[in-house]
Amino acid sequence: MNISIVIPCYNEEENIAKLKTELLPVLMNLSQGDEVETIFVDDGSTDATWPLLHQTFGDLNLPGVHFVFLQHEVNRGLGAALRTGFAAVSGDLIVTTDSDGTYRFSTIPALLACLTPGVDLVTASPYHPQGGVAGVPRYRLVLSQGASFLYRVLVNWKVHTYTCLFRAYRRKVIDTVSFQSNGFLAGTELMVKAMLKGYRVAEFPAVLYARQYGTSKAKLIRTILAHLRFQWRVFLHRLRLVALA
């Protein structure tokens, strides 16, 4: 199968060298049996991210590996960057990942291996009993752990992590499930809507590492409010289903 890897980037110039070192061996491994395209979406960076992506990856000639470079003229948010990337994919299987390597790129093959028959979406899960967190400040975990707990109550208790970007999708999920958020809610919105639509989700127990370079772009208060509003809509949807039963 063809594989597409979508990597949103925003002011990540400090991470580009690390990205190349850690990602290229994975792409070369995957390309042994599949065609692999990597789609970088620069979401209106104001630093040197855009030229550095081209300088680092643009002239590489790797059999079975292709690079696509897309750019927003202004910063539009993670969700908008994902939609831009999804509109350009050609693969049957689609991976989304952070550019900072907080989930190890080396685990992409294992993530994809969890897309067994009957599984439509695989999400990395640091909050799974077999997952873990390494070096991430406690205050940064409050949002994702708290939000994931509420989604477990509202959607599916067996799924432990709802907030990460590191995932693998079958193409049909991307083609049939829409999401409106332009911000960091987008990945959660996509997964929750896919689950409510009947798509089966599997978890890949993973370790979430602290970023080594740069700073997180998530705005905590804004993201918390977005999750609460979306959770309220999910709750109302569940109530309507109960009323109709």
**Residue 113 contacts by C-beta under 8 Å, 6 or more apart in sequence?**
none
pLDDT score recorded for residue 62: 93
- Give the burial class of 4: count Cβ atoms within 10 A of its Cβ; 0-12 exposed, 13-18 middle, 19 or more buried: buried
Q: Distance of CA 70 to CAs 5, 40, 41, 44, 56, Å?
A: 13, 6, 5, 10, 15
**Residue 166 contacts by C-beta under 8 Å, 6 or more apart in sequence?**
96, 97, 98, 103, 111, 123, 124, 206
Residue among 201, 194, 26 at smallest CA distance from 114: 201
Count CB atoms within 10 A of the CB of residue 5. Answer: 26
pLDDT score recorded for residue 222: 85
Which of the residues in the chain have pLDDT under 50? none
End-to-end C-alpha distance for the chain, whole angstroms? 40
Tens digit of pLDDT for each residue in 174-222?
999 999 999 999 999 999 999 999 999 999 999 999 876 556 656 678 8
pLDDT score recorded for residue 217: 59
- What is the span of the domain harbouring residue 206? 3-244
pLDDT score recorded for residue 212: 67
pLDDT score recorded for residue 97: 97
Number of domains in the chain: 1
Could you tell me which residues are beta bridge partners of residue 5? Answer: 38, 95
pLDDT score recorded for residue 243: 84
pLDDT score recorded for residue 218: 60
Full-model pTM: 0.94
- CATH number of the domain at 212, please: 3.90.550.10
Residue among 194, 159, 163, 152 at smallest CA distance from 177: 194
pLDDT score recorded for residue 220: 72
pLDDT score recorded for residue 27: 97
pLDDT score recorded for residue 235: 94
Residue among 26, 208, 192, 190 at smallest CA distance from 110: 26
